[in-house]
Structure 1
């Protein structure tokens, strides 16, 4: 369920950079029943080209090209790893290694469609992480990905035993309730049951550094969305 509309971070004649809300598809899926960000942009601009994508439940920075030359240039920049991509994520537990590079090949699971796994037949996949804050049950991490595999951060964090919170594919998928880490939690009179403080994947594309075809450098940042920010604030209070 998409609660907020995409926010434009940069727009010019060649490309558009947006802050995608969680719950919105980047591009149409196989079924084509749901509206995607690409379709929304096509309605507004006509021609739009996919440069890269974010998982439906991941929020944050995504780039679309407005012409074929820009599409070719930016796609190549992503492919050749000249684009710097940073994410913020909340994981279960506290990783013992405060900084780590995970270099494990990722392949599609041949028995479960749409699920990825670590397998030697997969493509090389490299994720750096750094623990920013520890909260006992959870930790806030910053990731830099050097490759762009499907579900890369999610698969790698499951592999090291600290899956991204509220991940239905690679974690337990259960929403985070304040009562799970606040000892004396009482429902307000108007509530029949507790509403989750975070009910979606705790992953956000935070920062992108790239050069455009005209040679201009761009550093784009998207602050954490309200739901993830609220969880971090609650966890800090109880630290």
Structure 2
């Protein structure tokens, strides 16, 4: 195990920030992970990321051995919308899980990325290389993937600062009467079903904006823009206001439209390029089954 020794001279501020500036080649996220794993001691004492360094502090970092990659590359077809040396934008199909887990060890987006993309950032470890944000298994659409740690941190910062653009299209139950709206309701783990999320008191802040695109008998097509990125946010928020996403097996009604899960698609993704600073915006067409379902609803109206 490699050991790094740092003595504080005139620096001030949080230890994670100070170390990321002193240790070139090690990202702030990586240092935060070492602190979380109790691999960093100051004057022989364990500290957290928000510890403020003092003059003459002696910091010892025990750098853990790199994890052996046990997630295997798989030759799974992947729609790559854009790629350069820093970032990849992919159009994820319905039915594909983003990264491996106990219930989905293979066949994920990460398995496909490892086969098709040479380099991926290491910030999220071996299970989620390159993954900056996620969308649900049965939600289709655009995802940004980082090819190096510097790009990863820049993209993650944009998500945190709410400067990235994420627009979705959803088909929901019911006819929404007003053309636009904002849902500002905190989301956390449901107190009645631990596998579900819900709007709860004391949950994490969550804001979703929506605009009606088209109305049908008993259904509405809406465009949604995320201001925050909570787990299942759109699905939970739309259920909360009484217009659950059609086809949603978890948050929707039993009688719903038949498809490949919820009719929810990440249609538009925009971000500032981590190196050039250029604003980049990408769009992905609706999946075929989504388009066909809309056409069927239009035909019923006629």
Aligned to 1:37: 109
Q: TM-score, normalised by structure 1?
A: 0.86
CA contact (8 A) 2:95 2:260 kept: no
Cα-to-partner distance string for 1:87-138 (whole Å, 9 max, x where unaligned): 0000011112221100000001245233100012111100011111010121
Aligned to 1:229: 291
CA contact (8 A) 1:167 1:174 kept: no
Of residues 173, 178, 201 in structure 2, which corresponds to 1:97? Answer: 178
CA distance in 2, matches of 1:232, 1:108: 32
CA distance in 2, matches of 1:151, 1:95: 21
Change (3 A) 1:36 1:212: same
**SS class of match (1:53):** coil
Aligned to 1:207: 268
* TM superposition shift of 1:31: 2.9
Aligned to 2:282: 220
Q: TM-score, normalised by structure 2?
A: 0.68
CA contact (8 A) 1:157 1:163 kept: yes
**SS class of match (1:50):** coil
The number of equivalent residue pairs is: 216
Aligned to 1:154: 235
**Rg bigger for which structure?**
2
Unaligned runs of 5+ in 2: 1-75, 121-129
CA contact (8 A) 1:127 1:143 kept: yes
Give 1:25-104 correspondences, 5 Å limit: 25-48=97-120, 49-104=130-185
* TM superposition shift of 1:162: 0.6
Unaligned runs of 5+ in 1: 177-195
Aligned to 1:120: 201
CA distance in 2, matches of 1:33, 1:27: 8
